[in-house]
């Protein structure tokens, strides 16, 4: 049973959160649940008040939460992180109220959550998606195919693609390129593949003039049905409609073609720093999240190529 001293500390802290910090009733209830479990853990460990708790005890509690070894429900990394925030707040309050001079929880960090890996689709699925983009009749079909081809060919973000001007493209060069304006208006020059070059060229000649005549799209490359610049939401709708026609709607997001671009380059042997430059990442660490996808490929190559890999 939780001691009177620990119970009083908890009630004082919750009152502090409600009155002085103005937290909502929902947040206060969540703190109460998390801290009631923590105080039960302290009591089971033989602590009758907050003064005897050390850093090792708080760190051990993080493991208890993840494993459920106190008889409670094992928590995910995200839920454990929330509980650790509550525990650190309680200890900080104990120091502020003069219950102890040091804070054993100050250096305790929540567990690192599992990094959400980018979703990529296979080369065959990309081809199905691009073919499906051509299904619309008239100028829209040419525009949609050009948009998705360019996204996959360059790894551009949708926001970068819809703000492109016609003059940002140089498709007549021996090696066609496009200037992309990324985060912080950083400019990068990215090669454009032959399939995308043909698709964008067809759109410029056979579709964009008629779209431009309907409105005031100015120099923007991709235009909507009324001649205005294609919005990010409309570009997203193009992707979703094409994915649905291709039977891929369950796992296609706005970043799918960008993720697939990076994954397929790395799987094909591209250097991670080259992919970093193409994606416009400020740090190679950001790009390295894609390398997990190529591990199986590396294993297969090793197994079939190394003279002593098998047998």
Give the active site residues.
157, 183, 255, 258, 281, 290
Q: Are 142 and 203 in contact (CB under 8 A)?
A: yes
- What is the distance between the alpha carbons of residues 65 and 84, in angstroms, rounded to a whole number? 9
Q: Are 239 and 248 in contact (CB under 8 A)?
A: no
Q: Are 36 and 42 in contact (CB under 8 A)?
A: no
Q: How far is CA 221 from CA 154, 218, 227, in A?
A: 15, 9, 11
Q: Are 254 and 239 in contact (CB under 8 A)?
A: yes
- What is the distance between the alpha carbons of residues 103 and 107, in angstroms, rounded to a whole number? 8
Burial of 77 (0-12, 13-18, 19+ CB in 10 A): middle
Q: Which residues fall within 8 angstroms of residue 199, CB to CB, at 6 or more apart?
A: 142, 145, 146, 149, 150
Helix, strand, coil tally for the chain in percent (to 5): 60, 5, 35
Q: Provide the token pair at 122.
A: 């296979």
- What is the distance between the alpha carbons of residues 183 and 283, in angstroms, rounded to a whole number? 13
Q: How many CB atoms lie within 10 A of CB 46?
A: 7
- What is the distance between the alpha carbons of residues 161 and 153, in angstroms, rounded to a whole number? 12
Name residue 165's beta-bridge partners: 220
């Amino acid at each position: 049973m939780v001691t009177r001293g620990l119970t009083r500390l908890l009630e004082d802290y919750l009152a502090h959160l409600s009155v002085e910090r103005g937290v909502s009733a929902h947040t206060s209830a969540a703190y109460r649940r998390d801290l009631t479990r923590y105080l039960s853990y302290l009591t089971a460990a033989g602590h009758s008040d907050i003064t005897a708790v050390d850093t090792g005890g708080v760190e051990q509690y993080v493991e208890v939460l993840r494993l459920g070894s106190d008889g409670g429900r094992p928590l995910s990394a995200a839920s454990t992180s929330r509980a650790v925030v509550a525990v650190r707040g309680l200890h900080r309050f104990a120091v502020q109220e003069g219950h102890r001079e040091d804070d054993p929880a100050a250096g305790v960090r929540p567990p690192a959550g599992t990094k959400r890996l980018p979703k990529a689709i296979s080369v065959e699925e990309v081809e199905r998606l691009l073919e499906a983009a051509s299904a619309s009749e008239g100028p829209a079909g040419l525009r949609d195919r050009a948009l998705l081809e360019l996204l996959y060919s360059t790894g551009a973000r949708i926001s970068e693609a819809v703000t492109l001007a016609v003059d940002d493209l140089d498709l007549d060069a021996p090696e066609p390129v496009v200037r992309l304006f990324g985060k912080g208006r950083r400019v990068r020059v990215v090669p454009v593949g032959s399939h995308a070059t043909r698709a964008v060229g067809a759109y410029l000649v056979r579709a964009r003039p008629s779209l431009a005549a309907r409105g005031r799209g100015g120099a923007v490359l991709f235009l909507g049905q009324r001649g205005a610049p294609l919005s990010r939401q409309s570009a997203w709708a193009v992707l979703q409609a094409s994915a649905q026609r291709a039977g891929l709607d369950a796992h296609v997001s706005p970043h799918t073609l960008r993720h697939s671009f990076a994954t397929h380059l790395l799987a094909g042997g591209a250097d991670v720093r080259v992919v970093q430059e193409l994606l416009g990442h400020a740090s190679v660490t950001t790009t390295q999240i894609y390398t997990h996808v190529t591990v199986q490929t590396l294993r297969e190559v090793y197994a079939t190529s190394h003279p002593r890999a098998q047998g």
